[in-house]
Structure 1
Amino acid sequence: MTARTTWEAVCTVEDLVPDSGIAVWTEAGPVAVFYLPHRLPALFAIQHTDPFTGANVLARGITGDLNGEPVVASPLYKQHFSLRDGHCLEDPSVQVPTYPVRLEGGQVRLAIAVASDRVA
């Protein structure tokens, strides 16, 4: 079994809330999509599941900037996760997956790896 990447439409631009996140469901599981209109790029996507608790809460975290790094603070234990690469600022051994994201004709799309049964 191999994996391939597909650009999956997960929401519309109207679903986004400035300086906040929303949770979406993908083939890879729950993902948190963040819209930070004052930054370039303005869209970020990371795993929605908090790795410290296993709870799907990261989209509900508070967004911010720590020394130029766009972050979200988990609403549970307040660890900060980089929206660029998913690393935890308080514990560098912990990281959440990130997803390439783009806006295409009003649709927010994420690059998601999906399993493929086809043999090349």
Structure 2
Amino acid sequence: MTTEGIEAVLLETHNWGKTAKFLQELGFEVEFETDHNSGQFRNGDGPCVFVAEVPLARQPRTQLVVKVAGTHNRPGGEVDIVTEFEQTHYGTQEMTVRDPDGRLWSLQAPAGQQ
């Protein structure tokens, strides 16, 4: 499998407003906000940080999103595939894999790419 680097960091929070202000204090700029307490931030040429508010009953998580060229680019060998590539509501395809320590990683391919 060949990856193309880290596309994004997904950061879940219990307080969208406080987390947005925190990131802005660190020099991140808002690229866009949604109407459901989420949005994307960027600082320089690195990966974006996507922040999404989750209910208090759910433990916030942080997840890396790794870019791949297409869904044909599947991991092999000892990689634990949690979910196969699926269309997302935001226009990409994502697969979830688990690393040896149990962390989840998202592999993101462009929509419609095989």
Length-normalised TM-score, structure 2? 0.28
Structure with greater contact order relative to length (CA < 8 Å, sep ≥ 6) = 1
